Amino acid sequence: MKRRNKQRLTKPGKANMEREDVKSILESLLLVADGPQSVQRFSEVLDGTNKDIIENSLRELQSEFETQNRGIRLVEVAGGYQLRTPKANADWVKKFLGGRPARMGKATLETLAIIAYRQPITRAEIEAIRGVDVDGVIATLLERNLIRAVARKDVPGRPFLYGTTAEFLQLFNLQDLSQLPTLKEMEEISLPEISGDTISLDHLEEN
């Protein structure tokens, strides 16, 4: 039998909850929760149980799912915790659910990446980078709640500025935007002479 961790709590929950109870309750809440839930939210529901206790319990749950090779994993995503299936089971889950795999087209993905890294950004600015019209793609992304209009840019025409949503973080399994893969610096893939857009190649040749 697994030895239970009977460590004394320095700050027990107001409702005098045992650590194991907290963990069990959290597991229940995670099961019924719709979308990722924050530690703050759990703390409120558990009568103000100390956030450290909540976090420790969540981490214990997390490692239990992992080490016991369970069919659910506790994932930190979009600023909260959510139960998800492990990738290894993806094919079976897909087979069970049936339906079409939600494929994202290249244009959609590229536009979404530009918005993610450059937000807030206007449609015209995205088009300048991609070199093509992005009207349709923007409409699709708005429709799928992956982006939203966050403000209007203070330039003639007051165009919308777009940014990504929590759904975007959920889709790509990101805790927050800081977790985006680092964008390669222009310098890393460019020749040293093109370090700014005001320096003309002609001038450099003269040096």
Binding of another protein at residue 1 (CB under 8 A)? no
Q: Which of residues 45 and 142 has its CB atom nearest to another protein in the complex? A: 142
**Pairwise CA distance, residues 10 & 45, whole Å:** 20
Considering only residues 79, 149, 150, 159, which one is a binding residue for another protein as defined by CB under 8 A? 149
Q: Which of residues 17 and 146 has its CB atom nearest to another protein in the complex? A: 146
User: In the range 70-99, which residues lie near another protein by CB under 8 A?
Assistant: 73, 75, 82-87, 90, 93, 97
- Across 87-121, b (16+ Cβ under 10 Å) vs e yields eeeeeeeeeeeeeeeeeeeeebebbbbbbbeeebb
The residue written with tokens 């069990």 in the block is 24
Q: How many CB atoms lie within 10 A of CB 14?
A: 11
* Segment interacting with another protein (CB under 8 A) among 19-27, 43-51, 60-68, 184-192: 184-192
**Pairwise CA distance, residues 121 & 193, whole Å:** 28
Considering only residues 112, 138, 161, 166, which one is a binding residue for another protein as defined by CB under 8 A? 112
Binding residues for another protein, per CB under 8 A? 31, 34, 73, 75, 82-87, 90, 93, 97, 101-102, 104, 106-107, 109-110, 112-114, 116-117, 129-133, 139, 142-145, 148-149, 167, 170-174, 180-181, 183-184, 186, 189-191, 194, 197, 200-202, 205
